[in-house]
């Protein structure tokens, strides 16, 4: 595994892969570190698909709001490095903020009309930071395929659209949510939860399961399904709902009646930790 902390080291490592010929495909798994089994599932999907795999670890300051957890975001770099070494990846790109934004950033990539939906509504500027850093990573690493988790469903939709609109020659692969046995979706932010909050956090998945159950029983009205989810949240009054929405998974526009594949997305605060989760219903 080549560890690159500078852009020039990365370019040299990328050139070495390119020199092996056109069949030498490169996958990218972009992360902010604090790796868990969800990230590792992306790395394994990438390895199964491409000859070489690059993982980036960069806690991207431009996607954090002024009141968000940038400074306390977990950064277990030694542990992350050892995990990736054990997975046998080819390149770890772990730059500093100064390497990526040496002059700050006044050039942005924004997917208008999508970036202000779901998390984008609650976290203004978040997706602008995400699409800007992902564009920079695509330009720097030049992967043929990039892997993202379905847990950040809005992020996935926005990155797909950005890739299409900007003609990046990159295939975007979405990978299933990985959950703890009790149902909690894996997230680096779960590290902030104390044992009581961890139990309370299970309500996100419980609410989604209840929506799936009612959908399977024939309910097609989004308003009624959202009411079902809200009722489930009543069993955990400490948890504060940020949003529960049913939307089209590509346009992120609200869906009134479920007649095609739809995304049921929730975000909620457990203590001061904001968690998200989702399921896809319909076909």
Catalytic residue numbers, as ranges: 39
How far apart CA 132 and CA 155 sit, in angstroms, is: 12
How far apart CA 217 and CA 90 sit, in angstroms, is: 47
Binding mask 50-79 vs ligand PAF (x if CB under 6 A, - otherwise)? Answer: ----------x--x----------------
Q: Say whether residue 90 binds ligand PAF (CB under 6 A).
A: no
Q: Is the dihedral of CA 125, 144, 164, 260 positive or negative?
A: negative
Task: Tell the smallest beta-carbon distance from residue 131 to ligand PAF (Å).
Answer: 9
HEC readout, 55-106: EEECCCHHHCCCCCCCCCCCCCHHHHHHHHHHHCCCEEECCCHHHHCECECC
Q: Say whether residue 247 binds ligand PAF (CB under 6 A).
A: no
Q: Say whether residue 273 binds ligand PAF (CB under 6 A).
A: no
Strand pairing class (262-270; 240-247)? antiparallel
Q: Say whether residue 140 binds ligand PAF (CB under 6 A).
A: no
Nearest by Cα to 79 from 37, 110, 121, 33: 33
The residue among 155 and 278 lying less far from ligand PAF, judged by its C-beta, is 155
Q: Say whether residue 174 binds ligand PAF (CB under 6 A).
A: no
Q: Say whether residue 115 binds ligand PAF (CB under 6 A).
A: no
Member of 45, 84, 89, 133 binding ligand PAF (CB under 6 A)? 133
Q: Distances in Å between the alpha carbon of 176 and those of 90, 153, 238?
A: 23, 10, 28
Judged by CB under 6 A, the number of residues near ligand PAF is: 10
Q: Say whether residue 32 binds ligand PAF (CB under 6 A).
A: yes
Chain contacts with ligand PAF (rule: CB under 6 A): 30-32, 60, 63, 130, 133-134, 152, 155
């Amino acid at each position: 595994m080549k560890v690159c902390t500078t852009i020039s080291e990365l370019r040299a490592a990328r050139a070495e892969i390119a020199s092996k010929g056109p069949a030498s495909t490169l996958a990218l798994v972009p992360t902010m570190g604090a790796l868990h089994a969800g990230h590792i599932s992306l790395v394994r999907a990438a390895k199964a698909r491409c000859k070489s795999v690059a993982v980036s670890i960069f806690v991207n300051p431009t996607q954090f709001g002024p009141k968000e957890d940038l400074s306390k975001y977990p950064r277990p770099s030694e542990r992350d490095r050892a995990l990736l070494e054990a997975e046998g990846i080819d390149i770890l790109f772990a730059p500093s903020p100064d390497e990526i934004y040496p002059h700050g950033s006044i050039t942005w990539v924004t997917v208008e009309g999508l970036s202000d939906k779901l998390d984008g509504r609650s976290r203004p500027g978040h997706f602008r930071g995400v699409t800007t850093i992902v564009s920079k990573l695509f330009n720097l690493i030049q992967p043929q395929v990039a892997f993202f988790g379905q847990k950040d469903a809005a992020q996935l939709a926005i990155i797909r659209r950005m890739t299409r609109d900007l003609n990046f020659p990159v295939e975007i692969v979405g990978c299933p949510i990985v959950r703890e046995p009790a149902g909690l979706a894996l997230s680096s932010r779960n590290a902030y939860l104390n044992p009581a909050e961890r139990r309370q956090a299970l309500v996100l998945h419980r609410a989604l399961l209840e929506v799936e159950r009612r959908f399977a029983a024939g309910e097609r009205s989004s308003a009624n399904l959202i009411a079902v989810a809200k009722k489930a949240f009543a069993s955990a009054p400490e948890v504060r709902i940020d949003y529960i929405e049913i939307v089209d998974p590509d346009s992120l526009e609200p869906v009134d009646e479920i007649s095609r594949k739809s995304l049921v997305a929730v975000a909620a605060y457990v203590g001061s930790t904001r968690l998200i989760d989702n399921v896809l219903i319909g076909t």
